[in-house]
Amino acid sequence: MFTKRHLISTRDFSKDEIDFLLSRAEELEKFARGREQGWGWGEGEGEREGEEESDLLKGKILANLFYEPSTRTRLSFETAMKRLGGEVLNLYSTETSSVTKGENLADTIRTVSGYCDAIVLRHPREGASRMAASLASVPVINAGDGAGQHPTQTLLDLYTLKKEGLLENLRIALVGDLKYGRTVHSLAYALALYGATLFFVSPEALRMPEEVKMDLRAAGTAEAEAAGAAGAGAGAGAEVFETSDLSAVVKEVDVLYVTRIQKERFPDPAEYRKVAGAYRVTRGLLKENEDLVIMHPLPRVDEIDAAVDGTKNARYFKQAFYGVPVRMAVLSTLLGAGGERRREGEEKQGASKNARGNRRNSGVGEEAPRTLRERTADDRERECYEQHGKDAARF
Amino acid sequence: MKKELKVVPIKNGTVIDHISAGQALNVLRILEINAKNTRTSTRTSTRTGAAGGAVVSVLMNVRSKKMGRKDIVKVEDRELKSEEVDKIALIAPNAKINIIRDFEVVAKHKVFLPNSIEGIIKCANPNCISNAEQEPVVSRFVTVSGSRGGVQPRFRCFFCERLIEDVSGYL
């Protein structure tokens, strides 16, 4: 079922493939906190003792290439890799690498491909990970490309919703910077696959881009067609509402997904000042809907009052933790050490190991070995085009 | 004696008809037909003709029953192949290709939007990696939807996923 070699955009994935990764994350969550840690959230609290350790990714090396700042994404990828027995190389300050000498991303990717088994890339330019995937001889995972996509954040958001029992038929408000916020672009598309009703709450200047809304209509349609749905609503796409008034939607939704208005993405600082502080979630707001779940990809500035942190509504730190099991699932799957495909991988293990050894000996640039899930860039591109062909058929 | 500038029928070559008015020069740009390469193109053509390079005639804003106004491009001594010409469907979705031999139309076909287009459209997103000068990357677009009922075709940047409709400003 899972046929992807790289993880670049939510749009590359079907609902079944996402479901597979979320299930895999559930299987691996027991390894996420490690053996010694005796605290947690909710049902897992106090039950850490006696948990297994894992060497699922023993002998594998992950390269974290971060051209932009990161706390949660980079550290949770590193934790995920290490909890599964793997090792991590970090390039998180471009000032200490050849980037300062003028080396381009393409050369860096080709070089680093020879040092590791997978690359995690965060880059300020949209499409950087897609380009990297076309050059790398190992799987590339997009950890954020400018204002583009952040698919593993989306997976952990979906995982949080799944753990809360809210994933199906959800009513959710995405609040804040919907124009530049890459997390909401990826998330909105994925939620459309699950039939969510979406409320976009933002200042006029930070509305969800039209192309994202177009994708939402197509995504809902695709899933309806795939499920053989019929009757009213089938093929209608995701139901979307737009407003600037947060208080108007609080009673209408199960979840508020709040985002920071990102100063660094604004070309004009004056434009940022016009919308900064537009929304603020407070305890007072929660009185209007006591069951409301508050999520946030973090970091936050002032859009969620610190007094909300201790309420039963706040899920954002738990959400941040879920980045570990979800990234464990992604890494183990892409590296051929996961679930049903692990068994498939074992059948090919001997040949794969030999081929990998040969590739390392013969240098980067030669054709990479193809296991059941190690696909060439051309394969991936063809799949992408096939998906685009399906999109085209819906217009 | 009355002077008259007249575009005569071509003996051999390709006539691209029904080009959207005002797009003829963009068609030439997409087909990479210019003063520098027409000679080479002619020499490599299967039906080599006049020495000294191909003659290219451009008619703009011609009256058309179907389109109101249209452009026409005539390329002498060069038979353009479908895969070459289909690219012009980006900006001239109604264009018709006529292959001429000895003044007769021997083949006629429409243009079809290719599934993907490389190196012709510049991404509208200035922050797209395909616009990064230091990266060795050629722009690539995937056709999302064809033109139907007067609706513009739509293309998605393979890299940053930005959608673009009117490509004429990004050639």
A203 touches chain B (CB under 8 A): no
CB contact under 8 A, B136 and A104: yes
| DSSP 8-state assignment for residue A7 | B
Check: CB of residue B142 under 8 Å from CB of residue B167.
no
Tell me how far apart the alpha carbons of residues B145 and B54 are, in angstroms, rounded to a whole number: 35
Going from the C-alpha of B143 to that of each of A12, A221, B19, B156, the distances in angstroms are 16, 19, 20, 6
User: Residue A96: its pLDDT value, please?
Assistant: 66
Pairing of strands A140-145, B96-101: unpaired
Note whether B2-110 and B116-170 share their fold.
Answer: no
B147 touches chain A (CB under 8 A): no
Same domain for A106 and A14?
yes
CATH topology of domain B2-110: Alpha-Beta Plaits (3.30.70)
Tell me how far apart the alpha carbons of residues A204 and A198 are, in angstroms, rounded to a whole number: 17
CB contact under 8 A, A146 and B127: yes
**A150 to chain B, closest Cα gap in Å:** 12
Domain ranges in chain B are: 2-110, 116-170
User: Residue A393: its pLDDT value, please?
Assistant: 32
Q: Which of B146, B159, B162 sits opposite A392 (nearest CB)?
A: B146
User: Residue A153: its pLDDT value, please?
Assistant: 96
User: Residue A56: its pLDDT value, please?
Assistant: 94
Q: What is the pTM of this model?
A: 0.79
CATH classification of B116-170 is 3.40.50.2000, yes or no?
Answer: no
Q: Which of A9, A123, A385 sits opposite B116 (nearest CB)?
A: A385
Question: What does the longest C-alpha to C-alpha distance in chain A come to?
Answer: 64
Which domain-ending residue is among A281, A314, A347?
A314
Q: Which of B129, B156, B160 sits opposite A388 (nearest CB)?
A: B156
Does A157 fall in a domain?
A: no
Domains held by chain A: number? 2
User: Residue A271: its pLDDT value, please?
Assistant: 77
Tokens, residue A41: 């959230």
User: Residue B39: its pLDDT value, please?
Assistant: 44
Same domain for A21 and A145?
yes
- Chain A residues in contact with B114 (beta carbon < 8 A): none
| DSSP 8-state assignment for residue A267 | S
pLDDT in tens, B146-167: 766 666 788 999 999 998 888 8
Parts of chain A with a pLDDT under 70: 1-4, 35-52, 92-98, 219-237, 265, 338-395
Range of the domain at A181: 165-314
Going from the C-alpha of A367 to that of each of A265, A376, B35, B114, the distances in angstroms are 38, 8, 41, 28
A357 touches chain B (CB under 8 A): no
Check: CB of residue A231 under 8 Å from CB of residue A274.
no
A146 touches chain B (CB under 8 A): yes
**Residue of B131, B135, B166 to mutate for A, most A C-beta atoms under 10 A:** B135
User: Residue A219: its pLDDT value, please?
Assistant: 67
B158 touches chain A (CB under 8 A): yes
CB hemisphere CA count around A111 (13 angstroms): 11
User: Residue B147: its pLDDT value, please?
Assistant: 63
For A51, the 3-state DSSP assignment is coil
Tell me how far apart the alpha carbons of residues A354 and A360 are, in angstroms, rounded to a whole number: 10
Nearest CA among A233, A252, A155, A242 for reference residue A206: A242
User: Residue B87: its pLDDT value, please?
Assistant: 85
Check: CB of residue B157 under 8 Å from CB of residue B130.
yes
Same domain for A303 and A182?
yes
First to last CA, chain A: 27
User: Residue A74: its pLDDT value, please?
Assistant: 94
Does A158 fall in a domain?
A: no
Does A272 fall in a domain?
A: yes
- Residue B16: which pLDDT band, with cuts at 50, 70 and 90? very high
Tell me how far apart the alpha carbons of residues A393 and A258 are, in angstroms, rounded to a whole number: 34
Beta-bridged to residue A140, according to DSSP, are A119
Strands (E), chain B: 13-20, 56-64, 68-76, 96-101, 104-110, 116-118, 140-145, 154-157, 163-164
Does A160 fall in a domain?
A: no
Nearest CA among A127, A115, A55 for reference residue A90: A115
Tell me how far apart the alpha carbons of residues A336 and A342 are, in angstroms, rounded to a whole number: 6
Q: What is the CATH number of the domain that holds A198?
A: 3.40.50.1370
User: Residue B170: its pLDDT value, please?
Assistant: 85
CB contact under 8 A, A126 and B161: yes
Tell me how far apart the alpha carbons of residues A242 and A350 are, in angstroms, rounded to a whole number: 54
- Chain A residues in contact with B116 (beta carbon < 8 A): 385
For the annotated catalytic residues of A, the residue numbers are: 72-73, 101, 122, 150
pLDDT in tens, B87-142: 888 888 889 999 999 999 999 988 888 888 898 899 999 999 999 999 999 999 99
Same domain for A285 and A334?
no
Lowest mean pLDDT among A141-145, B55-59, B79-83: B79-83
Beta-bridged to residue A198, according to DSSP, are A172, A240
Q: What is the ipTM of this complex?
A: 0.77
A106 touches chain B (CB under 8 A): yes
